[in-house]
């Protein structure tokens, strides 16, 4: 069979098997082809490794306190970014974590901020999920305006990335069926929670989930999945 022609404008990229496997380790494999994108991906991946061993983060995640979990991830991601040596950043570029774009009420701050030699700006914003990223369009538009007015910068890349995508593969015990029948009841609450938790597939990897389910019911009066 004759080889079909490549689509107009397509670029064929050849790589070794080792390079391909390395690219697949990225949450976004295409980022392996870009030095800056790969560096940002590495910041998030290393922060995820850290929070996956942090008791405060694990406690927040297990009880579905995603606001606290997100704050902890943001903190570790900022620390990770600050360890990046200038030599690792593209020539003429500077990397700043938690850069204040405009201070005061109604101001804005970038989680990851890169500035190029000609005032090119790259902003990365960590969000919990893709849905929350899409819901933040107005926030990102505000940031873009502040970058233009306050810094005189030329915004070239502005991304919201889900930090959960970096953490989830490191916590496999979170991969489980949703507890769809788990509801709060004023009477017989514990028995209904036990029934709901029992609906989880019995396996050694899920026994701990039942414990977390009952613990959540005891402390909050409701049973819900960790994610």
Residues 72-120 pLDDT 10s: 999 999 999 999 999 999 899 999 999 999 998 888 999 999 999 999 9
Q: Could you read off the pLDDT of 160-190 as tens digits, one per residue?
A: 889 998 998 888 765 433 333 333 333 344 4
pLDDT for 45: 93
Residue of 132, 121, 152, 134 lying closest to 36 (CA atoms)? 121
Residue 54 confidence class, pLDDT cut points 50, 70, 90: very high
* Domains in the chain: boundaries: 17-169, 176-220
Rounded Cα gap, residues 32 and 45, in angstroms: 13
Burial of 72 (0-12, 13-18, 19+ CB in 10 A): buried
Rounded Cα gap, residues 44 and 76, in angstroms: 9
Q: What is the pTM of this model?
A: 0.68
Rounded Cα gap, residues 31 and 40, in angstroms: 9
Statement: 17-169 belongs to CATH 3.10.290: no
DSSP SS3 for 51:
helix
């Amino acid at each position: 069979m004759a080889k079909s022609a490549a689509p107009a404008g397509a670029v064929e990229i050849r790589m070794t098997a080792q390079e391909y496997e390395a690219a697949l380790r990225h949450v976004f494999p295409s980022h392996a082809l870009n030095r800056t994108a790969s560096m940002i991906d590495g910041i998030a991946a290393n922060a995820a490794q850290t929070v996956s061993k942090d008791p405060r983060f694990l406690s927040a995640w297990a009880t579905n306190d995603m606001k606290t979990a997100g704050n902890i991830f943001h903190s570790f991601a900022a620390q990770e970014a600050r360890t990046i040596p200038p030599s690792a950043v593209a020539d003429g570029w500077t990397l700043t974590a938690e850069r204040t774009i405009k201070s005061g009420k109604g101001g804005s701050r970038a989680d990851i901020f890169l500035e190029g030699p000609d005032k090119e700006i790259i902003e990365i914003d960590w969000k919990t999920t893709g849905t929350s990223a899409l819901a933040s369009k107005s926030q990102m538009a505000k940031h873009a305006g502040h970058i233009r007015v306050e810094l005189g910068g030329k915004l070239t890349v502005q991304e919201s990335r889900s930090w959960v995508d970096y953490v989830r593969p490191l916590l496999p015990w979170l991969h489980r069926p949703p507890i769809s029948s788990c509801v709060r009841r004023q009477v017989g609450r514990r028995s209904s929670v036990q029934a709901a938790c029992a609906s989880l597939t019995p396996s050694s990897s899920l026994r701990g989930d039942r414990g977390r389910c009952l613990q959540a019911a005891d402390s909050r009066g409701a049973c819900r999945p960790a994610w």
